[in-house]
Structure formats: C-alpha cells, structure tokens
Amino acid sequence: MSLQINDLTLAVDGVTHLDGISANFERGKLTTVIGRTLAGKTTLMRAITGLQHLDRGALQLDTQNFSALPAWRRDIAMVYQQFINYPHLNVFENVAFPLRRKKLDEAVIERRVRGVLDKVGLKGFEARRPSQLSGGQQQRVALARSLAREAGILLLDEPLVNLDYKLREQMRSEFRSLLAEQTQTIVIYNTTEPVEAMLLGDTVVVMHEGRILQVGTPAEVFDRPASMQVASVVNDPPMNFIQGHKGESTLELAGGVCLSLPWHLRGLTIGEYWFGVRANELRVGQTSVTGQVTFSEVSGSETFLYVDSPLGPLTLQVQGVHIHALASNLEIGIPAERLFAFESAAQRRLVAAPATGAQL
C-alpha cells in the first residue's frame, strides 16, 4: 500500500526542476523531504497533486494509475508554505469546504470540523474570518482543513516556515502528535531545516537540484551522509570541508596541518580526499590550527564563529556565549576521530564515517 513515483522529470525554459525522481511513499509513514530552497521539493509535491504538468514520469497509488486523474479527483490534502485559506468563508466553512464538495452528511461534517478544530486549538474561533486571525492561527485553519479531509495523501510544504520562532517550536511538537494519528495516510513533509526532518520523519529524503541524493532513516542520513552535498544539506550550520592527503600514518590537511591518522580512516587507500567535520565538533582552544575570526554571532545559548584559517573558511558552533573580537586569533582543535572522509572524485561520495554518537 503505497504511492510510487517513477522518473518524474520537468524542465521549464531550460531550468531543471525535477530530474528523473523515483521514490516510494508508504501508508502510515511520515516522509520528510529535506533540501535547500529551489531543490525541487515544492515542484515534487505539485507533481504529486497533479497541479504541475510534467515532461515525463508516472505516479501510481497502490494499483491505481494516478497520472491519469485530474487534481480534483486525487483526494490529496495539502498545506502550503503561505497560509492559504478561503477569505470569504469563516473558519468553520473553510474547514468544511472540502467535506461539502464530497457531499458528506451535515451531521458528519459538523462532527469532523468541530473535532479537528478542537485538535488544532481553534475551538471558539469558528465564526471568525481568516483575516481576523494571527498568522499561526491561519496556518492552523489550513492544517485543520487538510486533516478534516482524512485524505489518503497529506502533503505539508514547509508549513512552519512563515511562523515566528516560538510558534514554530510549539507547532512542531504539536505536529508530531497530530501526524502520529494519521495511521492510514501517506504523509510527506517538506522542510529546509535538518532539525525538523530528523525530528518528524520516519524516512528522510534528501533532495538537491531536482534530484534525490539519499533516502534513509534520520539516523542513517545524519550519521552516514552519502555525499558531501548531503552532508552539507542535513547539517545546520553546514559541515566544514577540508581538502587533504591521507598518508601512511598521518593526515596532511590543506595549509600544512598534520594530524595523526585516526583509527576509522585506516582502511582508506593512500591518496587525496575531502574531509568533513561538523561545526559543533571543532574545539576552541586546542591547537591544531590558528585562524582569524571574520564574523561572530550569538544565537541564544550558542555562538557561531566564522573563521579564516589555513584550512580554508571554517564555521564553529560553540555552546554558551563567547565574545571574540573580529580579526582576533582563534586556536582551533580538529578532532581527527570525528572526521568524515569523502572521495575527491566528482561525486564526492562518502568513503568513511566516524563512529556514530550512539555507538550502534
């Protein structure tokens, strides 16, 4: 029981939006699609809905040929990134709208709409117009409408991105419990944020420039990113990459930095590699290399440091608030045992990864 998409391809005016996308979405599973802006996430969703004309490709829901159905017959609920509601209808009628199109019994509509409005915390707002609600409430109306449908497929296109930080945190945890109830539904959730993808998804699909780079559980994608591109998409701030040479018993990194060879990289053949290290795993105060601070920003309990070093530009994520003057020197420790190794060939595939945090 699943939605299969096969070879979805779309190019508009020479720009590739989807490049032969094939995937399988299971019923009762939540799949997050993570990718930067313009990775093709929204286009993929629009292709599934039937709103987007495709150059090539087929969609199949269980045994049904989906491609032949127009959008209004596919029974897909979608929540847009922008808060889309019907401005001329009140909250109750907004949520009831798709149910009325299905010509459901008035009592059923009444029960479902009230139930779902209760769930999303909009009880008492039934008679308001969308314009009389705050942004977060408007997005809840859109969400309520999509949940009330009890559609076979639920698409959520960056539903939290236009909300303020606090509200996003709150709704993210509410999403988890709301979506956990959708046991018969195929849920696909687009996001640009690694945290969201890891937190919500049973499966994570990593997209970049219209292609799927990797599919796996959150742990697989995070701990064993298939390529440098994946590693940079699923880490926020992006992973640092350093060019280097693996020798007999040493790692010679760019800028003349030399480290002793960690155990997990011993199996690699001698040669050139790209090494990756997460921003939060670089150590301040240890002396592998000295760099100059080019920019520093404090975000809540963390400090982000941008440093120019002989290794190239590095980003550090440090717990706590640290004040560093611009252009001041910073001693940075590179934990050799935490390095990812990627081939230097064009695909930059992962060839060795450090032991996972959980030591699986």
Partner 1 sequence: MSKLYTFLKYLAITLWSIFVVTPFLWALTTSFKTANGVTGGPTYLPWLQYEPSLSGWKSLFSGGGGIDIVKPYLDSLIVTASASVISIVLGSLAAYGLSRFSYRAGFVKNADLIFFFISQRIMPPIVLAIPFFLMLKWLDLLDSKIGLILVYVALLLPIAVWIMVDFFNNIPRQIDEMAMLDGCTPLQAFLRVILPNSLPGMIVAGMFCLIFGWNDFFFAFTLTFTDTQLLPVAVVALNSSVTPWWSLSASALISVAPLLLVAFVVERYLSHGTLAGAIR
The footprint of partner 1 (CB under 8 A) covers 49, 51, 70-72, 74-78, 80, 82-88, 97-98, 101-102, 129-133, 135, 138, 145, 149, 162
Alpha-carbon distance of 117 to 15, in angstroms, equals 41
- Of 22 and 132, nearer to partner 1 (C-beta) is 132
Cβ neighbours of residue 153 under 8 Å, at least 6 residues apart? 3, 25, 48, 61, 74, 75, 76, 77, 185, 186, 187, 188
Residue 91 CB, shortest distance to partner 1, in Å, is: 11
Alpha-carbon distance of 104 to 302, in angstroms, equals 52
Alpha-carbon distance of 31 to 27, in angstroms, equals 10
- Of 76 and 265, nearer to partner 1 (C-beta) is 76
- Of 46 and 246, nearer to partner 1 (C-beta) is 46
Q: What is the DSSP letter of 253?
A: E
- Of 129 and 211, nearer to partner 1 (C-beta) is 129
Residue 72 CB, shortest distance to partner 1, in Å, is: 5
- Whose CA is closest to 131, among 87, 66, 164? 87
- Of 40 and 50, nearer to partner 1 (C-beta) is 50
- Of 155 and 221, nearer to partner 1 (C-beta) is 155
Task: Report which secondary-structure segment, H or E, holds 69.
Answer: none
- Of 72 and 295, nearer to partner 1 (C-beta) is 72
Structure tokens at 120: 């999303």
Residue 153 CB, shortest distance to partner 1, in Å, is: 10
Cβ neighbours of residue 234 under 8 Å, at least 6 residues apart? 34, 194, 197, 198, 204, 206, 221, 222, 225
Residue 162 CB, shortest distance to partner 1, in Å, is: 7
The torsion angles phi and psi of 312, rounded to 5 degrees, stand at 110, 180
Do 297 and 303 contact (CB within 8 A), yes or no? yes
Residue 69 CB, shortest distance to partner 1, in Å, is: 12
